[in-house]
Chains A and B, each alone.
Chain A
């Protein structure tokens, strides 16, 4: 195995492990806000690692353009998607778990744009 293959495999394994950790978080964490935390952070870093690993494994100008554009788009759009999902959860009145400490006592959906 060349150094290129080892680097690509390590990146692909790391990214897949992060996506799997996001799935474990989605399965095990207690409420929607905790799950949004797990999904947004672990999944965005994981998919970027997988795409960079695939780029190292198949390094041509075509794949560099496609995967580079995909990585940039993922990094730009995944946080905003998770933010929109969490905001929609809050505004639609999704219940918190009992252990949540809330600094503000506003009811959900009190600040309507």
Chain B
């Protein structure tokens, strides 16, 4: 369980990097990529938290976050592409 805690801490550091890039990203394309990696980090973190808490039903969140992450990335990329300049 110590190992899972270390992995969750690593994912927390990853999420901090993502938030930094989301706030200070030079272009909006960097922010789209940051949202993409944020959902990936969330999916991995939820799966590891499910092991840590011994709660298999939490894995439903993994499936939901996979779908939401894909749709969010596509939607934000589409908004960026169609935005009048």
Contact = CB atoms under 8 A, between A and B. Distances in A.
Nearest to B50: A54
Contacts of B70: 73, 77-78, 80-81
Given A20-B14, A58-B51, A47 B81 contact: no
Contacts, number: 162
A74 B80 contact: no
Contact of A23 (B37, B47, B78, B85): B37
A69 interface: yes
A78 to B, nearest CB: 8
From A17, A36, A60, residue with most partner B Cβ within 10 Å: A36
Contact of A95 (B27, B47, B60, B81): B27
The secondary structure that dominates the B interface is helix
A interface SS class: helix
Interface string B44-85: 100110110010100110110011011001100110110101
Interface residues of B, number: 47
Interface of B: 3-4, 7, 10-11, 13-14, 17-18, 20-21, 26-30, 32-34, 36-37, 40-41, 43-44, 47-48, 50-51, 54, 56, 59-60, 62-63, 66-67, 69-70, 73-74, 77-78, 80-81, 83, 85
8 contacts: A13-B3, A19-B10, A19-B41, A26-B37, A27-B20, A50-B44, A54-B51, A60-B56
